[in-house]
Chain A
């Protein structure tokens, strides 16, 4: 098992004091391993953004410890903390670029803060813009860019100080599905190429599914469950886990089939009539128990729950068929009818 790069122990965060105090996070324990893409998912108000801000101490925990790359952040002085933040950078839902600076100077900004010589700043910034595919926009201003391009600039900026950890606070929530897919692809790519550990905060299960290896589900300021993404997906143990994993309005305990599978459409062609093809090609009839799918520019996104036939042979055939489809992931759902 890889070394944890972020280790959070017994973290509690309370806003306000006395009668008006609100506990945003309670006894949070989690580890993020070096080099992985870790997801934190929850509904709005669950405390995701507060939790991610505790990882670089933009929010100071009320109690508990936050160790990043071997340093206990809560014990650092202001100056030490500022230095530590260069290796724990962040991107945001709203991009937060400096609107009065060119793209190039936005990427130079963190290097400017840490006193990197001008020529070196420029050279590094151009390299990074190349890396995120925006070399031709170096002299443009953020107002001239699309949302996806702005997020790419923000990513380049976040990488300028060679961070060990990249925190992504709802980084794709303001983007359309196609742009979201391309930004996620970029994050995955950077994780692979640079070895940077990525922590993704999101309310979209599809984001977790697309890039994360492990996930923590946050609900009402506590971690409801955490583990490998496949485990959580195939067998969510908590109510909130089921709510996030399954399409809305499906009560898993009441499903009328004995074997249930969950399909996730990850942007494959929506012109492929999967269920009909399954019936025609395999002669297997499956039952759609619930679906929450969207068609965006001819690409399918979302999830679907299918009840498999009682016959084990037919069920296996159907499962095999679906597994061979591109851009669809399948998990069997454990449930007790």
Chain B
């Protein structure tokens, strides 16, 4: 048994390590970039509502429509559909760089909805109080909505990261590298069951760690619970 395991690591250890690193890089970079786009979109969705602090009916509808389109496409189809755009943007359709573009395009609308949900939980009365003190729209977003929603945004963060982690595995289908790629090429195509097992175990461990850390963090920063 031990021989089998050490034999497996001797043969595949290095590519498994590389796959893990690739997956983590893709996940982290895509999550950050997806938040750069998704967070402002989510904020706009909330404040442009008819009873929001910056009501713009048509902007709100247009945003909602675009986000719904983005969310309705399954990741694998979106990834293939925008390949030319990906090439144009980062110069390649494959590898980590090629995967990050569709990952971001797919996750940003998803994140926008998560952010919208988190911000909607902020007590409307607190927002009104800030308005009554003469806060500007930007000040309300920056000093009321985002800080007050921090615990909920943090929980949303774990959902986003785990979703993107799952997407990286799909991106493995088209040469993105990472654990998904190993599972497909070695575990499935070359019939190495221990490789399939190793990738599955690693991904499960990552998801557990991410969820635990973010759940803990969300509670730790929430001052309502003390």
Contacts and interface: CB of A to CB of B under 8 A. Distances in A.
B148 A96 contact: no
B125 A99 contact: no
Contact of B139 (A84, A92, A113, A154): A113
Contact of B125 (A81, A92, A110): A92
A78 B226 CA distance: 38
A335 interface: no
A102 B126 CA distance: 15
A302 B2 CA distance: 83
B221 to A, nearest CB: 8
A141 B223 contact: yes
The interface size bin for chain A is: 20 to 34
Task: Determine chain B's interface SS by DSSP, over half rule.
Answer: helix
B88 interface: no
The interface size bin for chain B is: 20 to 34
Given A94-B125, A96-B123, A143 B131 contact: no
Contacts of A82: 134-136
A58 interface: yes
Given A98-B148, A100-B148, A143-B224, A56 B132 contact: yes
Contacts of A129: none
A25 B143 CA distance: 33
Interface in A54-108: 56, 58, 81-86, 89-90, 92, 94, 96-102
Interface of B: 123, 125-126, 128-136, 139, 143-144, 147-148, 150-151, 221-226
Interface of A: 56, 58, 81-86, 89-90, 92, 94, 96-102, 109-110, 112-114, 141-144, 154, 157, 161, 167
29 contacts: A58-B128, A58-B131, A82-B135, A82-B136, A84-B134, A85-B131, A85-B133, A85-B134, A86-B134, A89-B132, A94-B123, A96-B123, A96-B129, A98-B144, A98-B148, A99-B123, A99-B126, A100-B147, A100-B148, A100-B150, A100-B223, A101-B223, A102-B223, A110-B134, A113-B133, A141-B223, A143-B223, A143-B224, A157-B133
